[in-house]
Amino acid sequence: MTTYNIAIDGPAGAGKSTIARRVARELGFIYVDTGAMYRAMALYLLRQGIDRNDEKAIEAACSQIDISLRYHEGVQQVLLNGEDVSSLIRTEEVSQMTSAISVYAPVRQKLLELQRELAGTQNVIMDGRDIGTCVLPHAQTKIYLTAGSHVRAVRRFKELEEKGQMCNLEEIEHDIIERDYRDMHRDIAPLKQAEDAVLIDSSHMTIVQVVDAIMEAARKQGLEVTG
């Protein structure tokens, strides 16, 4: 079976998941949030009290971790050793741990196969950092979605504010810049724009405009989009 794959990569807070979820709904594709898989692994390591710099302990822990995805009414749930941890993986502590441990080969290897298997059996829109460059190099449509770090920080700030969480804009921007730097400069599968990816800078675009730009890119790459 030939599946149609859309890869979306980009830095933290660029709006990848919001956009990917919408595109998936419009196209009837499965949305695969690979960041959630890395986050679930980080949560396991945090729970075990493993140091983010202890590569040996992280490698050993990888064999004790089973990550899987489940969909409930179209919404992705990530399971860590059978436990739905979707609501526990969005904290700043988990974000920073995730970025720190995703530099290690055994961590990435563990998730790579699962990600490729998902994309090989169904039409997916998959977001992350290395989807177009490494996980799905043959994805029919590749998008590099970015926005200025200040714009991304403000968006995140508003999101947290709406949830009633106390936060500091400067700290959020600092954390975003730190995470981007680590994700872009690691040795294995760093974040970068694939040569054949369409660059979308959403700094001054609405969600609808970004969704339309992706649909247009997919259409150009042979996807039949009705409506």
d(Cα 115, Cα 9) in Å, to the nearest integer? 14
Stretch that binds ligand DC, among 66-74, 122-130, 150-158, 208-216 (CB under 6 A): 122-130
Q: Which is nearer to ligand DC, 137 or 225 (CB)?
A: 137
Selected from 22, 128, 139, 146, the binder of ligand DC by CB under 6 A is 128
Q: Which of residues 198-227 bind ligand DC (CB under 6 A)?
A: none
**What is residue 54's three-state secondary structure?**
coil
* 173 makes contact with ligand DC (CB under 6 A): no
Selected from 99, 140, 141, 202, the binder of ligand DC by CB under 6 A is 99
**What is residue 42's three-state secondary structure?**
helix
- Find the farthest-apart pair of alpha carbons in the chain and give their distance in angstroms, rounded: 52
Q: Are 210 and 15 in contact (CB under 8 A)?
A: yes
- Could you tell me the smallest distance in angstroms from the CB atom of residue 60 to ligand DC? 20
A 10 A CB-CB count for 208 gives 10
Q: Which is nearer to ligand DC, 178 or 216 (CB)?
A: 178
Matching residue, tokens 């595109």: 23
* 35 makes contact with ligand DC (CB under 6 A): yes
* 133 makes contact with ligand DC (CB under 6 A): no
Selected from 15, 24, 34, 173, the binder of ligand DC by CB under 6 A is 34
Query: Angle at the Cα of 194 (from 189 to 200), degrees rounded to 5?
Result: 120
Q: Are 62 and 81 in contact (CB under 8 A)?
A: no
Element holding 31 (H helix, E strand): strand 30-33
Query: In degrees rounded to 5, what are phi and psi of residue 102?
Result: -80, 5
- Could you tell me the smallest distance in angstroms from the CB atom of residue 38 to ligand DC? 4
Q: Which is nearer to ligand DC, 29 or 104 (CB)?
A: 104
Selected from 21, 129, 152, 156, the binder of ligand DC by CB under 6 A is 129
Which residues contact ligand DC by CB under 6 A? Answer: 12, 34-35, 38-39, 98-99, 102, 128-131, 179, 183
